[in-house]
A and B are shown apart, each in its own frame.
Chain A
């Protein structure tokens, strides 16, 4: 499926991330294929979030030192000028977070936020509002919500809006960091449906970071399991979670509570 480098949308090589003397990520190789949903699984402190931030060239703003290579369609991002990274963020690579309401600007109506963001990316005012409305329809939200402030939204609505932003910006890669962990289970199921759909319809490549292996099992084509900054196992989701080879993966899989597992 993604054996070759040519199909890679985003690829990491020898990525090392450190905070001062403490190395938190030591990753030989990871590849997100075009139109693929790749799960990045692991527990707190495994380094999955900082890895995603490094893909946006943002890890250094958190004081981390990044070495190695992050390539988007072959273009090297590590060491790229900030002006170039700023161009790529949003328009090529977007990120959504666990707490969708707090990732929106509390002082702006949603529509205003869309307009400002799109205009920063060189979209004209008129087209910006069209793109916002189209994106809202695509994520199945009423365009009335464009007139709302973030505090007037539910968690599920806010997460749809965050995804709509990446659609309006025409992002090709979506980095999703625990995007359903704060949501109710029925709302989570809807967001997972939506992510599947944007992959089908837009060919979006999605890196889905989660501690929840069951969610990853339902959504992702492939999964990489991270422990203490290293990838201990990577492969097709059904294989990795169905027949894990690594001991840590085995423990993680065994720890997932399952309904009907005991009689």
Chain B
């Protein structure tokens, strides 16, 4: 997907978000803006990168230690009044990775979708049933499914139900947390099509959390790459994937297996593992694993700065995006 990264009048704005679990800073000063839809922003990263914690903070399932989350310019991080929270929860809905555990096993599909419709008074009581039927049709499920239980559905059908439920309250923002990672590949392809279709027809704006760069490329014009709770590179998806400017993005991109052997890139090996977030290294948090690290990286935390149409937190970004310094990196084929 290609588009210019929008900066005007964000629908959802996250500014300098910090989330802490005891001594661990799971999210450390993350900022991004989501414009009105149709628009997709991807948060990409591996285990421990903080992407799911950001999703939880957006849903107000975990508290922010500091920073702001604004919907239409109104800060919701500090919302405590039940009315404010209620309307926020209607505006921002989430779809989780595993539809098997996110649906109540004892409730019929119809009841599962009816619950938020009733709770938020979306339509008059007598219209709830027809509303459920139209939502099921919208996600390409037979309205008859309303009478079934989750265990009678396939994984793909369950994920469609989870999407229908999220849409039932006419949200303005959807948070999609690895929505296809638990699904078979042919099922995944169909769910991705469904998301693209809903995006077109409803003008959806969404934050997509994924470790799959190919999925991200299909659905999001903008991507933020996270490492150890921070954004290390952020900008138009196409640009970031085609020419990474951060060594971590480069390594992540090179580790993606390619079915088309001609498209295979030589891989950049990252030594070691992600550092303990309770005890992050000094300087750039990526330096202990970075093939390009120099003395400056061990001492000075790189700030996000603009380069080549995106922002990147690396002292050597110019060389990396230009393809220089690559020869000095450790490689394997």
Q: Is A57 an interface residue (CB 8 A)?
A: no
Cβ contacts under 8 Å, A154 to chain B = 273
The answer to whether residues A189 and B186 also contact, given A154-B273, A213-B259, A257-B218 and a CB cut-off of 8 A, is no
Of A185, A211, A258, which contacts B46 at CB under 8 A? A185
How far in angstroms is the closest Cβ of chain B from A167?
21
Q: Is B217 an interface residue (CB 8 A)?
A: yes
Q: Is B129 an interface residue (CB 8 A)?
A: no
User: Once the chains are docked, how many angstroms separate the CA of A258 from the CA of B192?
Assistant: 13
Q: Is A117 an interface residue (CB 8 A)?
A: no
Q: Is A44 an interface residue (CB 8 A)?
A: yes
**A212 contacts B257, C-beta separation under 8 Å:** yes
Which chain B residues (245-261) contact chain A, with CB distance < 8 Å?
A: 251-253, 255-261
How far in angstroms is the closest Cβ of chain A from B298?
21
Of B47, B259, B269, B273, which contacts A256 at CB under 8 A? B259
Of A43, A184, A217, which contacts B258 at CB under 8 A? A217
The answer to whether residues A44 and B184 also contact, given A257-B212, A260-B241 and a CB cut-off of 8 A, is yes
**B217 contacts A259, C-beta separation under 8 Å:** yes
Q: Is B185 an interface residue (CB 8 A)?
A: yes
**B258 contacts A258, C-beta separation under 8 Å:** yes
**B214 contacts A211, C-beta separation under 8 Å:** no
**B258 contacts A218, C-beta separation under 8 Å:** yes
Q: What residue in chain A is nearest B189 (Cβ atoms)?
A: A255
How far in angstroms is the closest Cβ of chain A from B270?
6
User: Once the chains are docked, how many angstroms separate the CA of A193 from the CA of B255?
Assistant: 11
**B259 contacts A156, C-beta separation under 8 Å:** no
Q: Is B242 an interface residue (CB 8 A)?
A: yes
**B185 contacts A193, C-beta separation under 8 Å:** no
**A241 contacts B252, C-beta separation under 8 Å:** no
Cβ contacts under 8 Å, B188 to chain A = 255, 257
Cβ contacts under 8 Å, A187 to chain B = 46
**A257 contacts B263, C-beta separation under 8 Å:** no
Cβ contacts under 8 Å, A188 to chain B = 255, 257
**A218 contacts B264, C-beta separation under 8 Å:** yes
Most-contacted residue by chain B among A154, A185, A251 (CB, 10 A): A185
Cβ contacts under 8 Å, B158 to chain A = none
Cβ contacts under 8 Å, B242 to chain A = 260
How far in angstroms is the closest Cβ of chain B from A237?
9
**B186 contacts A217, C-beta separation under 8 Å:** no
**B186 contacts A186, C-beta separation under 8 Å:** no
Cβ contacts under 8 Å, B256 to chain A = 185, 214, 259
Which chain A residues (59-112) contact chain B, with CB distance < 8 Å?
A: none
Could you give 24 example pairs across A and B, Cβ below 8 Å? A43-B187, A44-B155, A157-B273, A184-B47, A184-B211, A185-B211, A189-B257, A189-B267, A212-B185, A212-B257, A213-B185, A214-B258, A217-B258, A217-B259, A241-B259, A256-B185, A256-B214, A257-B192, A257-B215, A258-B258, A259-B214, A259-B258, A260-B263, A262-B218
